[in-house]
Structure 1
Amino acid sequence: MFLLATLTSAAAQTSADPSRIEERFQTRPAVPEVGEPLVLPGGEDRAPAQQAEETPFTVSSVAFDGNKVLDDAELQALAAAYVNRPITLSDARELAAKVTAKYRDAGYILTQAVVPSQRISDGTLRIQIIEGFIDKIEIEGDAGGALPFLQSHARRISSIRPLTADVLERELLLAGDLPGFSIRSVLQPSQTTPGASDLTLIVERDRFEGYAAVDNLGSRYLGREEVIGAVYVNDLFGTAGRVGLTGVVAPDGDPELAYGSLSIQQPLTSSGLSLFASASYSETRPGLELERLDTEGTAKSMRVELSYPIVRSRDLNVIGTVGFAASNVRSENAVVKPTFEDRLRSVKADVFVNALDSWGGSNSGQVTFTQGVTAFNGSKRSDGNLSRVNADSEFSRLNVEVSRWQPLWNEFGLLVGAAAQTSFNEDLLAGEEVGFGGTNYGRAFDPSEITGENGLAGKAEASWYIPHSSSVVQNPELYTFYEIATVDQVTLLPGEEERETIRSAGLGVRLGVAERANVNVYVAKPFGHDITAERDRDLRVFFSVSSSF
């Protein structure tokens, strides 16, 4: 009976392991998007409004007044084509426009070159350069706890003279990153300070946000159907933070899966430094043959992270994160108590990048290095009942994930992605192994259908964005996909293979319904590997219905 319990647990471990629950449902901080609809206002045209006189005149030189940022030699290179030949006032204004464009190309979006009223008696044309800046910034609306952060952004914007697009863009995007707040900016010429502009930030605060979903993306071990709900309270303590509660239940049985988490996101500085912390608890009561053994599992997890936007713009984001995580995972059945008990402790550092490129595509990548530690009562190799032999809480692993989305023609797009993990040939406890299967890589399979110390996966998805929209159906999209993933084990448990590979292909549809719900339905076919819980490779149908409010 003991041998049967051990072999059965090993065969079903990847789908029913309680240490795999957290990675599926954990709350994560929002990732900044590229291509965000932020409009950066330019400077006002200060050229005289009257019709230019076309009487030619000849200038022997051009003098630029007010240029402190660009070197005079750069501007004289533009002026060379206009000296020692007859020009008109229209030509002079054309030169001023080229100077303005040069400043704009250098990022000085409020700078303007104008031709002032003048009498050219000595052959010198004078062009006035107004290196623009923000003089006054007003904050309107329901700013709540975001007010001190917005005031810091305002001070930073107004301190840069002349103002650059990079500074304005970063500060406005960081202001918009405050959870629960939306920021709209309005720029107007200053009524009191020549050459300056005034900026108004209009703030809206959303106190509550939520999410609800129903899907059949689980497994037969832990319940095929899942009900997911989350609620977020913004600015609860008047500090521009966010508190979230998430719950998941597989209603079949006792239930077979129950998960809950509490998360806190708190901006620390106006430069973008942010704290994220979460704690979660999950219980599993797997079905099928594991139910006959009265198998139960629990997982308690917590993590704390600090993140900082090294680069924050519409076209490129670079986010650095450091953090600490801990989890206690236990599984037992009627024969063995516990079947395993892991105490994982780790520190991590990662860099996330997303960017737009000249081909119109968007790219993202993340590199994460995780170092396990035995401090804080982490599992040691000498401990009994660990989930993996020759493993403990002291390990090293490296994860890399990249993706690219490329628009093709007018209504088509292609998404490609890859993910990899290496443990540097070390044994890992079950919760630190890489798992494939489920919504990211291996959609025809159950979540974490295969796991291993080392893994590599790739996918390609082609989409057709159907040009249709109505009050009932919005943004319909047909897509087809192919995925492949493989894992390696360093040390084998009974019933395991050294290498396992899964492949899946399918097609589906995504669409919005009544501007309230998002629906995703797809069929998928597994290849190369039986689905553990199903014991077959039959065509499968999946769905997900979700709504944000």
Structure 2
Amino acid sequence: MGKQFEDLGQEGDTEVFGAKISHPLVRARDKNAIMTLGVEHKKVEQEILDTDQSTDEFNAVYLAFGYDSVDRYLGKTIFSLELHTGDVDFGSRTPPSRLEIDEEYIYLNTYLTRIQKIYGYTNLLLRFQGQYSPNRLLPIEQFPIGGYFWVRGHEPATFLGDTGYTFSSELLFAPPLLGDKILFNQRVGQMLQLAAWFDTGGAYVTDALSGERNNQNLSGYGGGLRLYYKDRLTFRFDIGWPTDRKETGKSNYLYFSGTYGFF
């Protein structure tokens, strides 16, 4: 829960457990394909001032296909397609957090990324992700737009829809005139990259109720830097601006992320 909800005495608890089995369909130097079958159980409880407000609980089965390949055009493609189906448990003494949800549901998820070398240390990253569902889903299964990976330059999960998409285009390039310089036994162009990007996306509600907003579209743009040190350190920084800023919204958003491998 965010700080703004804690101040209102609102708290939440989420339980997720499951199992899956995967089988490789293709294993090669330049391509891989894998199929996964999984089951999961999720339960989300919310309370305000120690009083239970809602319970979202369901069992689900999913089938996923994943594929990646490196081609002669100096690019890499990553693709996944997932089919989810489940049953909502209405047996709790508190109602679900969303009105008029479907007891049985199905949705399809897809993810596609293309990383293409342009020249030298300049690369283009294109990313699409989407979801389609004919049902009214629980919030934890809805498609969010807004936030990192979901349209930068906006608040996280600005809007939730049962169906939605995001598209991101990002140009990555080495600092001018420094790409071939050596620093810490590594070329600067391999260690440090600048980024310029544009994100857009939309989300749509199935069978919107009276007074319920049925769709939202967002776009944002910005820049950042990427730092890579060998195979151990990764650091990302981005600053994003909304293309259509609201008077009550922030003028920009900062994003930081990093990983470090000790072994």
TM-score, with structure 1 as normaliser: 0.43
Q: Alignment partner for residue 459 of structure 1, among 168, 183, 187?
A: 168
Q: Indicate if the aligned counterparts of 2:112 and 2:129 stay in contact, CA closer than 8 A.
A: yes
Pair 1:320-2:35 in alignment: yes
Residues 460 and 363 (structure 1), Cα distance of their counterparts in 2 relative to 1, 3 Å cut: same
- Tell me how far apart the structure 2 counterparts of residues 360 and 399 of structure 1 sit (CA, whole Å): 27
Please give the per-residue CA displacement for 1:93-132, whole angstroms capped at 9, x wherever unaligned. Answer: xxxxxxxxxxxxxxxxxxxxxxxxxxxxxxxxxxxxxxxx
Q: Alignment partner for residue 329 of structure 1, among 44, 49, 62?
A: 44
Pair 1:365-2:79 in alignment: yes
Comparing both structures, which one devotes a greater share of its residues to helix? Answer: 1
Write the letter of the residue equivalent to 1:445.
Answer: H
- Tell me how far apart the structure 2 counterparts of residues 540 and 418 of structure 1 sit (CA, whole Å): 22
Comparing both structures, which one devotes a greater share of its residues to strand? Answer: 2
Write the letter of the residue equivalent to 1:296.
Answer: E
Q: Alignment partner for residue 538 of structure 1, among 251, 257, 262?
A: 251
Report the alpha carbon displacement of residue 472 of structure 1 after superposing the two structures with TM.
8.8
Q: Indicate if the aligned counterparts of 1:444 and 1:524 stay in contact, CA closer than 8 A.
A: yes
Give the paired residue count. Answer: 255
Report the alpha carbon displacement of residue 383 of structure 1 after superposing the two structures with TM.
7.3
Report the alpha carbon displacement of residue 403 of structure 1 after superposing the two structures with TM.
1.2
Residues 343 and 508 (structure 1), Cα distance of their counterparts in 2 relative to 1, 3 Å cut: same
Matched residue of 2:104: which SS? coil
Report the alpha carbon displacement of residue 492 of structure 1 after superposing the two structures with TM.
4.1
Q: Indicate if the aligned counterparts of 2:53 and 2:94 stay in contact, CA closer than 8 A.
A: no
Pair 1:489-2:192 in alignment: no
Write the letter of the residue equivalent to 1:398.
Answer: L
Q: Indicate if the aligned counterparts of 1:414 and 1:462 stay in contact, CA closer than 8 A.
A: yes
- Tell me how far apart the structure 2 counterparts of residues 499 and 528 of structure 1 sit (CA, whole Å): 16
Please give the per-residue CA displacement for 1:355-380, whole angstroms capped at 9, x wherever unaligned. Answer: 12231211111110001125xxx337
Unaligned runs of 5+ in 2: none
Q: Indicate if the aligned counterparts of 1:527 and 1:537 stay in contact, CA closer than 8 A.
A: no
Match of 2:110 in 1: 400
Larger Rg: 1
Matched residue of 1:317: which SS? strand
Match of 1:448 in 2: 157
Q: Counterparts of 1:246-325 in structure 2 under 5 Å? A: 284=1, 286-288=2-4, 290-325=5-40
- Tell me how far apart the structure 1 counterparts of residues 68 and 231 of structure 2 sit (CA, whole Å): 28
- Tell me how far apart the structure 1 counterparts of residues 246 and 21 of structure 2 sit (CA, whole Å): 41
Residues 472 and 423 (structure 1), Cα distance of their counterparts in 2 relative to 1, 3 Å cut: same
Residues 321 and 406 (structure 1), Cα distance of their counterparts in 2 relative to 1, 3 Å cut: same
Match of 2:58 in 1: 344
- Tell me how far apart the structure 2 counterparts of residues 490 and 529 of structure 1 sit (CA, whole Å): 26
- Tell me how far apart the structure 1 counterparts of residues 246 and 140 of structure 2 sit (CA, whole Å): 23
Please give the per-residue CA displacement for 1:528-549, whole angstroms capped at 9, x wherever unaligned. Answer: 3659xxx414022222233111
Report the alpha carbon displacement of residue 469 of structure 1 after superposing the two structures with TM.
3.9
- Tell me how far apart the structure 2 counterparts of residues 343 and 416 of structure 1 sit (CA, whole Å): 35
Residues 544 and 469 (structure 1), Cα distance of their counterparts in 2 relative to 1, 3 Å cut: farther
- Tell me how far apart the structure 2 counterparts of residues 447 and 548 of structure 1 sit (CA, whole Å): 27
Residues 292 and 494 (structure 1), Cα distance of their counterparts in 2 relative to 1, 3 Å cut: farther
Q: Which runs of 4+ in 1 moved over 3 A?
A: 465-469, 491-496, 512-517, 528-531
Identity among equivalent pairs (%): 22
Q: Indicate if the aligned counterparts of 1:311 and 1:318 stay in contact, CA closer than 8 A.
A: yes
Please give the per-residue CA displacement for 1:242-279, whole angstroms capped at 9, x wherever unaligned. Answer: xxxxxxxxxxxxxxxxxxxxxxxxxxxxxxxxxxxxxx
RMSD: 2.5
Unaligned runs of 5+ in 1: 1-283
TM-score, with structure 2 as normaliser: 0.87
Pair 1:431-2:145 in alignment: no
Match of 2:90 in 1: 379
Report the alpha carbon displacement of residue 451 of structure 1 after superposing the two structures with TM.
1.2
Residues 515 and 304 (structure 1), Cα distance of their counterparts in 2 relative to 1, 3 Å cut: closer
Report the alpha carbon displacement of residue 393 of structure 1 after superposing the two structures with TM.
4.8
- Tell me how far apart the structure 1 counterparts of residues 199 and 46 of structure 2 sit (CA, whole Å): 31
Report the alpha carbon displacement of residue 345 of structure 1 after superposing the two structures with TM.
1.0
Match of 2:184 in 1: 471
Q: Indicate if the aligned counterparts of 2:224 and 2:237 stay in contact, CA closer than 8 A.
A: yes
